[in-house]
């Protein structure tokens, strides 16, 4: 469509010029003042690409969603974001878009989001689009990526799912022909439109810096997406005038000069304006930008009062009425689906009659077919999609078939889902639950038998839960899905699925105490519960054992063996929440016993047990007489039963460790 074919009422050349010039002056002001130390961190300016943001975002409707990347300033301002708040955010001021927590790359305001992880935002935006489609709002999502992101696998996982599931989303590729310092011909094989065609997604390709050519194309694509509720692609071949960030431009100066001469979107439009009208616009924008910059300079900085972005959760203990851990979890999923239509399930091979690799999801697709989404083999992609759904008000549950595959979703959990609440200054919630079976002793070998949750325990904003056969693990899952506002990694040990649930009546040798939620500060609630086991009518314990998941069951067996064979008595503390971890149940026991044994199925080095022992030593000092750890050997888990048993910790290892302590 040429300029002459665009209805005159659709845009005003002076308004478009003002938008372009405003973006230009903001970025120039940032670069000019960085040497003064007024801005903190880094910045990735949008100089040269302004026509893309203005052209694509001008036709937006208020309910539409925009997800941007590290080069997000132009997108934010074209979306309608407050310039003073953006200046303030880059300066780390309390008046910033995210109160100074996000900085240059991490912005959230109304329906605008950005994150600096290359490619990882694409499945999230896809999930947002699907959420709006499910809710019937008619909103469209737009996600901006650069040519560098086309090397990321999650992009193609997202294109596949967007096409399969009909996501109303516009994928915008801003091809400035160079990733940080690597030209596109050294990093990208094939052509870009073919990437969309391969997934059945129609795409438009433009090689222009003229906003009056980009705008009608974007308007047409957005209309098609709204009408068909299916995805589209827009490839914009563009030019970046400035370095990737502040000083990392390796291109020859004459090459950049030619770009500025031939492809400057501001110059292209200014030639069509009356000279005096253009000067009036520029004077008004210059004054506005300078005034907003000076106001931001004088804004206050945040007080140093960092609070955890993850909140404490009240959890009520419900007596178990089902036979096994598997039954309990399956029943809980059915209850949550019945209780709240916002609950959706995504995973691989979860449809009936198969019902998932370990049958936890059986029956759900039969009873709730519209809310159970069988997915491609794309672990990172489906967690990203679920994160987007959670950000837009749904309650997604993801099943990762084996815990070993959580390495594939680490980026989505750690760099996206867990960070959004904190870096967006508590403006959003991500009520996402990722369930996964973990652990060995099934002969599955090195890549399907690991216990990997320790790699997630230090991620701020992410809660890690591990149910046991104590109490009602289904109630734990139900609460996490319906009531926890933060992302949860729900770790289910494989050997516990068929384990009978323990209650006080089913453990005649033990006194089982479900520790109630701990009191917190005013307005806050307690953590998920911990359990404490002692032998009935036994002498005072001389050692505390801390264990979770299936290792808690082995520790219980070791307690019996120690008592009857060695007359050594122990207390067992079993937490259900591994992170953030509440030490008080462990400390209360160690104050009585003076000894601590931490038991886990993961490898020995830098594990959960090391953290527990370190915290106990710091808290108790001389009150902790001796501490030890039991964990797996530092080697890949073999498939052969005898070798696997030798690699993983067992009852005998726990007994031997306690005897050495005594």
Which range among 20-24, 339-343, 353-357 shows the weakest confidence by mean pLDDT?
353-357
Are residues 118 and 60 located together in one domain of the fold? Answer: yes
Coil, helix or strand for 387?
helix
Cross-strand partners of 535: 510
CA angle 6, 8, 12 (to 5 degrees): 105
pLDDT for res 527: 64
Are residues 480 and 513 located together in one domain of the fold? Answer: no
Are residues 134 and 219 located together in one domain of the fold? Answer: yes
- The answer to whether residue 307 is domain-embedded is no
Coil, helix or strand for 63?
coil
pLDDT for res 504: 66
274 or 309, which is more confident?
A: 274
Are residues 67 and 87 located together in one domain of the fold? Answer: yes
Distance CA 563, CA 568 (A): 5
CA 241 to chain centre: 32
Is residue 66 within 8 Å of 60, Cβ to Cβ?
yes
46 or 505, which is more confident?
A: 46
Is residue 417 within 8 Å of 383, Cβ to Cβ?
yes
pLDDT digits (tens, 9 = 90+) for 32-54: 999 999 998 889 999 999 999 99
Is residue 456 within 8 Å of 443, Cβ to Cβ?
no
Name the strands in the sheet holding 395-399, side by side, starting at the edge strand that comes first in the sequence.
Answer: 372-374, 343-347, 395-399, 433-438, 488-493, 463-465, 577-579
Which range among 101-115, 242-256, 265-279 shows the weakest confidence by mean pLDDT?
242-256
Are residues 468 and 604 located together in one domain of the fold? Answer: no
- The answer to whether residue 184 is domain-embedded is yes
SS (H, E, C) 108-130: EECCEEECCCCCCHHHHHHHHHH
Are residues 457 and 341 located together in one domain of the fold? Answer: yes
Helix axes 13-33, 211-228, angle to 10 degrees: 100
Distance CA 138, CA 136 (A): 6
Q: Is the pLDDT of residue 10 over 70?
A: no
Distance CA 347, CA 355 (A): 10
Distance CA 523, CA 307 (A): 14
- The answer to whether residue 486 is domain-embedded is yes
Residues in CB range of 501: below 8 A, 6 or more apart: 320, 322, 323, 324, 325, 328, 469, 470, 471, 472, 473
Q: What percent of the chain has pLDDT over 70?
A: 93
- Nearest-CA neighbor of 55 among 212, 226, 240? 212
Are residues 149 and 95 located together in one domain of the fold? Answer: yes
- CATH number at 237 reads 3.40.50.970
- The answer to whether residue 503 is domain-embedded is no
Q: What percent of the chain has pLDDT over 90?
A: 84
pLDDT digits (tens, 9 = 90+) for 131-177: 999 999 999 999 999 999 999 999 999 999 999 999 999 999 999 99
Q: Is the pLDDT of residue 120 over 90?
A: yes
Are residues 336 and 274 located together in one domain of the fold? Answer: no
Q: Number of H helices and number of E strands within the chain?
A: 22, 20
pLDDT for res 4: 36
Tokens of 475: 């109630």
- CATH number at 608 reads 3.40.50.920
pLDDT for res 109: 98
Confidence of residue 487 (pLDDT cuts 50, 70, 90): very high
- The answer to whether residue 301 is domain-embedded is no
Domain range spanning residue 98?
A: 13-296
Judge residue 132's burial from the number of C-beta atoms within 10 Å of its C-beta, 0-12 exposed, 13-18 middle, 19 or more buried.
buried
Handedness of CA 223, 225, 226, 227 (dihedral sign): positive
Element holding 67 (H helix, E strand): strand 65-68
- Nearest-CA neighbor of 85 among 302, 293, 305, 303? 293
pLDDT digits (tens, 9 = 90+) for 565-617: 999 999 999 999 999 999 999 999 999 999 999 999 999 999 999 999 999 99
Are residues 604 and 576 located together in one domain of the fold? Answer: yes
Q: Which phi and psi (to 5°) does residue 573 adopt? A: -110, 125
Are residues 67 and 180 located together in one domain of the fold? Answer: yes
Q: Is the pLDDT of residue 345 over 60?
A: yes
- The answer to whether residue 361 is domain-embedded is yes
Number of domains in the chain: 3
Which range among 9-13, 212-216, 284-288 shows the weakest confidence by mean pLDDT?
9-13
- Taking residues 390-404, what's their average pLDDT? 97
Are residues 285 and 406 located together in one domain of the fold? Answer: no
**What average pLDDT is seen over the chain?**
92
Q: Give the predicted TM-score (pTM) of the model.
A: 0.88
- The answer to whether residue 8 is domain-embedded is no
| The residue to which tokens 């998932």 are assigned | 356
Please give the DSSP secondary-structure letter assigned to residue 519: P
Are residues 153 and 288 located together in one domain of the fold? Answer: yes
């Amino acid at each position: 469509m040429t300029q002459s074919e665009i209805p005159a009422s659709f845009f005003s050349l002076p308004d478009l010029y003002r938008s372009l010039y405003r973006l230009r002056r903001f970025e120039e002001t940032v670069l000019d003042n960085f040497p003064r130390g007024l801005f903190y961190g880094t910045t990735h300016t949008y100089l040269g690409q302004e026509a893309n943001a203005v052209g694509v975002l001008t036709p937006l409707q208020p309910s539409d969603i925009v997800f941007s990347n590290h080069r997000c300033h132009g997108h934010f301002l074209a979306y309608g974001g407050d310039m003073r708040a953006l200046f303030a955010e880059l300066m780390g001021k309390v008046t910033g878009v995210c109160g100074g927590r996000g900085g240059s790359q991490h912005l959230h305001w109304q329906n605008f989001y950005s994150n600096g992880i290359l490619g990882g935002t694409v499945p999230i935006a896809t999930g947002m689009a699907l959420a709006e489609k499910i809710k019937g709002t008619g909103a469209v999502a737009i996600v901006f990526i650069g040519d560098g992101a086309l090397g990321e696998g999650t992009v193609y996982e997202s294109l596949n799912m967007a096409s399969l599931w009909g996501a109303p989303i516009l994928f915008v590729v801003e091809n400035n022909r160079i990733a940080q310092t690597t030209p596109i011909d050294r990093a990208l094989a094939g052509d870009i439109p073919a990437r969309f065609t391969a997934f059945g997604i129609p795409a438009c390709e433009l090689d222009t810096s003229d906003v009056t050519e980009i705008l009608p194309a974007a308007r047409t694509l957005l209309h098609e997406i709204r009408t068909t509720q299916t995805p589209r692609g827009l490839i914009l071949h563009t030019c970046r005038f400035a370095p990737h960030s502040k000083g990392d431009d390796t291109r020859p100066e004459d090459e950049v000069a030619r770009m500025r001469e031939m492809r400057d979107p501001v110059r292209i439009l200014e030639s069509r304006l009356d000279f005096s009208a253009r000067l009036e616009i520029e004077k008004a924008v210059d004054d506005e930008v300078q005034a907003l910059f000076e106001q931001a300079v004088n804004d206050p900085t945040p007080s140093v009062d960092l609070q955890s972005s993850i909140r404490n959760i009240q959890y009520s203990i419900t007596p178990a009425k089902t036979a096994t851990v598997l039954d309990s979890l399956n029943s809980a999923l059915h209850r949550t689906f019945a209780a709240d239509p916002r609950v959706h399930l995504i995973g691989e091979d979860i449809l009936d009659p198969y019902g998932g690799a370990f049958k936890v999801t059986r029956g759900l697709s039969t009873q709730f077919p519209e809310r159970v989404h069988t997915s491609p083999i794309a672990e990172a992609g489906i967690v990203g999609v679920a994160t987007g759904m959670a950000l837009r008000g749904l309650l997604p549950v993801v099943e990762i078939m084996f815990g070993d595959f959580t390495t594939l979703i680490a980026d989505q959990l750690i760099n996206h889902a867990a960070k959004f609440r904190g870096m967006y200054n508590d403006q959003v919630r991500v009520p996402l639950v990722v369930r996964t079976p973990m652990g060995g002793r099934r002969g599955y070998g090195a890549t399907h038998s690991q216990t990997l949750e320790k790699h997630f325990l230090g991620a701020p904003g992410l809660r890690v839960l591990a149910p046991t056969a104590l109490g009602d693990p289904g109630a734990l899952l139900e609460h996490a899905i319906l009531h926890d506002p933060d992302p949860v990694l729900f770790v289910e040990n494989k050997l516990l699925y068929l384990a009978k649930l323990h209650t006080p009546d089913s453990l005649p040798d033990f006194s089982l105490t479900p520790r109630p939620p701990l009191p917190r500060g005013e307005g806050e609630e307690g953590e998920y519960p911990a359990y404490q086991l002692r032998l009935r009518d036994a002498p005072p314990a001389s050692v505390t054992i801390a264990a979770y998941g299936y290792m808690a069951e082995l520790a219980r067996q070791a307690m019996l063996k120690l008592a009857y064979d060695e007359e050594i008595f122990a207390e067992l503390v079993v937490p259900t929440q591994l992170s953030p971890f509440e030490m008080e149940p462990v400390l209360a026991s160690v104050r009585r016993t003076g000894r601590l044994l931490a038991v886990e199925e993961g490898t020995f080095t830098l594990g959960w047990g090391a953290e527990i022992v370190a915290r106990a030593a710091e808290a108790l000092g001389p009150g902790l007489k001796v501490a030890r750890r039991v964990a797996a050997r530092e080697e890949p888990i073999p498939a052969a039963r005898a070798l696997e048993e030798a690699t993983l910790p067992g009852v005998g290892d726990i007994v031997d460790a306690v005897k050495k302590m005594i």
